[in-house]
Amino acid sequence: MIEDYHKAGEIVSKIRDDASKMIKEGLLVLDLVEYVENEIKNMGAEIAFPCNVSINEIAAHYTAYLNDPTEIQAGDLVKLDLGAHINGYIADTAITIMAPGDSLEDNLDEDTIEKNQKLIDASAEGLDAAIATVRDGVSLNKIGEEVEKVINSYGFNPIVNLHGHSLEQYNLHSGLSVPSNKDKNNQKIREGDVLAIEPFATDGLGFVTDTPDIYIFRFLKERPLRVLYTKKVLKTIKTNYSSLPFSYRWLNKIYPGARLFAAINQLIDIGAIYPYAALKEKTNKWISQTEHSVIVEKDGCEVFTK
Ligand code: MN
Ligand code: MN
């Protein structure tokens, strides 16, 4: 189990670092997510969830759809969030890059460029503070308190309704929720817990809300269906993605064409699948995110996505 976490961690770290260097003006989000997902498989792991690429005021849960024309612009605050697993043991990591490119100075003024860099530093340093706090017996809101202090010291707010989470075999969001502020959750973490810690920093209010874009889903349960096509779609989901999230893009490769859209909406309506809407900052301010996965130890933790 520990070896599996280590191997998954090495794989996502290498891919995160390689993919970060690709992020620049003109790169298609589609090409970025496909690169990441293909590399996970090439390196001998499985994809734990669709690669998320969330830009500017989008916090999380955006992934490309088939033929998605979205292109990265110079100056974009690009959050790359990826996960891989070995035998269900998941490594989850994220980084924020301000996309370089010739148009950077045309697209953003100097102050905004500086602010973006500070946003990146704030979430990264917030994560460092969290990692320095983690050890057996620490409460979850103590971790959040330390993150919040750092992010506030930059003059920014943490996103308070997006949390880190514990990881268990084939379970991306198991019981524990790791806040980025001092909330009411004084539950304690224990040696052996595996956590993905992911502070988000913003110069906005610090809340995210749903957008209408939904490209990531998770299987919930079998439901009776009359339409053969929708029945087949649900069978494919259950067979291939019974426990971990999947993307519209993956399914669209198996079921080409627009008919899939109606089927997916019906599966949401009857509670067969859960939709993860892309999330945006409520006041449309930009957001940074940094994430590592750690194993809690008696006197600290081991970061296995370094
Ligand atoms: Mn993540
Ligand atoms: Mn995560």
187 alpha carbon – ligand 1 mean position (Å): 22
Indicate the pTM of the whole model. Answer: 0.97
Res. 72 pLDDT band, cuts 50 70 90: very high
pLDDT interval class at 241 (50, 70, 90): very high
The catalytic residue positions are 81, 92, 165, 173, 198, 291
Rounded to an integer, the average pLDDT of 139-168 is: 98
Task: Tell me the pLDDT tens digit for each residue of 6-50.
Answer: 999 999 999 999 999 999 999 999 999 999 999 999 999 999 999
Give the distance (Å) from ligand 2 centre to CA of residue 126. 15
Mean of pLDDT values over 66-82: 98
What was the pLDDT predicted at 228?
Answer: 96
Alpha carbon of 92 to ligand 2 centroid (Å)? 6
Q: What pLDDT, on a 0 to 100 scale, did the predictor assign at position 250?
A: 98
**CB under 8 Å, gap of 24 or more: what pairs does 257-265 form?**
259/229, 260/233, 263/227, 263/229, 263/230, 263/233, 264/217, 264/233
- CA distances (Å), 169 to each of 174, 209, 262, in order? 9, 29, 32
Confidence of residue 299 (pLDDT cuts 50, 70, 90): very high
Average pLDDT, the chain: 97
- Mean pLDDT computed over 191-201: 98
The mean per-residue pLDDT over the stretch 289-298 comes to 98
Kindly state the greatest CA–CA separation across the chain. Answer: 58
Q: Which residues make up the environment of ion ligand 2, defined by Cβ < 5 Å?
A: 92, 196, 198
- Which residue segments constitute the domains of the chain, with CATH numbers given? 2-210+286-303 (3.90.230.10), 212-278 (1.10.10.10)
> How far does the centroid of ligand 1 lie from the alpha carbon of residue 140, in Å?
18
Ligand nearest to the CA of 165: 2
The Cα–Cα gap between 246 and 216 comes to: 6
Mean pLDDT for 127-154 is 98
